[in-house]
Structure 1
Amino acid sequence: MAKFTEREKEQIRQCLLTKGKELFTQYGLTKTSIDDLVQACGIAKGSFYKFFSSKEELFYIILQNQEEITNQLIGGHLRENLPPKELISSFLHTAFKLADENPLLQQFFQEGESERILRKLPKRLIKDFAQDHTKKGIAFVQALIQRGVLRKQDPEVINAVFHAIMLLRLHKEELGKDLFPRVMNLIIDYIAEGLTKTD
């Protein structure tokens, strides 16, 4: 197996992330092989495992690294000057819209796919990303509380509520494509009302 300098390692890692995103977007995770990935970067198949334990790990890291999605969602809503209920409703609706428009997130949310991907990942990786996203989410909630958008309550709980709502996306097929938007509109309306109403 070839030995790489630190610079070469970084270049190869970036190539796998870039080409991986392109291939996963075009062909999907299932139809993209490790052979496709290493061929795109001009490395031997065995060298792939110096960087990632599986194509699922590469896919997950690419998915998690799309910071522009999180930044667009959080940053945009921190700049919004809407009434509290409308702001929370807009935030949740936008989160669902971004998930529906992102081809990698669409793959992740396909029936059974998220569980299959997560089973193949190192536990520490899932834990590290979860902690990072939780920190960002809590900071967002704290900012909304300070602005008076949300009532004073435990930011960790509110962030978990937002996360739980997004997990409902995994059940879109079960509820049916026609019924799901109506169900989510009602849930979002109730959640926005409950989180922002004053005593």
Structure 2
Amino acid sequence: MPKFTDYEKEQIRQDLLVKGRKIFIKYGLVKTSIDEIIHECGIAKGTFYKFFSSKEELYFEILINEVEVRESVLNELFRENLSSKELLNSFFHFSFDSVEKNPFLQRSFQNDEHERLIRKLPTQMSEFNQKNAVRGIHAVNALMNQGTLPKDDPRIIVGIMQAVMTLCLHKKEIGDDIFPIVKDKIIEFVIEGLLKEKN
């Protein structure tokens, strides 16, 4: 097996992340094979295994990168000088848009992809989910301290936000034509409920 310089290793890793993402978007996690990934990257199977022990590990790293990009944009949003209603509205709409306009995140929100990751990478997924929950609680605590959200158990508010986000999974059942209206109405009702509780 050839030895790679640090620069070559970084190039191969980035290639796997970028091309792997495209293939996962096209075929999904289950239907993508390592052979397809290595063919697209022009590397040997042994080289793939120097970087990732499975296609699930590669998928998981791409998912982490996508979530980190989304989080950095959300952090900027929280720094803007917005009213409570504007901030919550922007948060929910940005969260929806970041999934709806990102085909990789769309796929990762599908139950079969998520369930497969939990089965194949239970420790990593458990840590990932816990880390997301802690991030959510910190963000909600900050919003409560600045008076944007009512004082409540932050886990409950995080749970409400997560419940709203699961709407993405039911777009087909709701109907593509009315989904945007339903989504906007639910966001409006949740925000009104949260702010009413605050007042």
The TM-score range, normalised by the shorter chain, is 0.7 to 0.9
For the residues of structure 2 that align with 1:127 and 1:180, how far apart are their CA atoms? Answer: 31
Query: Any residues of structure 2 matched to 1:76-95 within 5 Å, and which?
Result: 76-95=76-95
Contact 1:151–1:196 (CA<8 Å) still a contact in 2? yes
Question: Structure 1 residues 138-147 or 51-60, which shifts more?
Answer: 51-60
Q: Contact (CA 8 Å) 1:54, 1:120: kept in 2 or not?
A: no
1:153-192 equivalent positions in 2, closer than 5 A? 153-192=152-191
Aligned to 1:128: 127
Deviates more, 1:34-43 or 1:157-166: 34-43
Given the superposition, is the C-alpha separation of residues 6 and 164 from structure 1 closer, same or farther in structure 2, using an over 3 Å criterion?
farther
Q: Could you tell me how far 1:170 is from its partner in structure 2?
A: 1.0
SS of the residue 1:127 aligns to: helix
Q: Deviations over 1:101-157 (max 9, x none)?
A: 1121122245x5434543553100111111221222122112111211011112222
SS at structure 2 position matched to 1:151: coil
1:25-82 Cα deviation digits (max 9, x unpaired): 4x3436643123223444321443343343233123202212222211x223212323
The structure whose RCO (Cα within 8 Å, separation 6+) is larger is 1
Q: Which amino acid aligns with 1:49?
A: Y
Number of residues paired by the alignment?
195
State the partner residue of 2:64.
Answer: 64
Quote the Cα distance in structure 1 between the aligned partners of 2:118 and 2:137: 27
Query: Helix, strand or coil: the match of 1:29?
Result: helix
Return the alpha-carbon distance in structure 1 between the equivalents of residues 113 and 36 of structure 2: 22
Are 2:104 and 1:104 aligned? yes
CA contact (8 A) 1:144 1:150 kept: yes
The CA distance in 1 between the partners of 2:115 and 2:153, in whole Å, is: 33
More off after superposition, 145-154 vs 55-64? 55-64
Cα 1:56–1:173, aligned 2, differ >3 Å: closer, same or farther?
A: farther
CA RMSD, Structure 1 to Structure 2 (Å): 2.7
Greater helix share, structure number: 2
Q: Structure 1 length normalisation: TM-score?
A: 0.81
Q: Give, in whole Å, the separation in 1 of the partners of 2:13 and 2:127.
A: 19
Any unmatched runs of 5+ in structure 1?
none
Residue 182 of structure 1 aligns to a residue whose secondary structure is: helix
- Quick one: distance in 2 between partners of 1:77 and 1:29? 31
Q: In structure 1, how many angstroms separate the alpha carbons of the residues matched to 2:133 and 2:147?
A: 21
Q: Please give the TM-score of this superposition, normalised by the length of structure 2.
A: 0.81
Q: Structure 1 vs Structure 2: percent identity of aligned residues?
A: 45
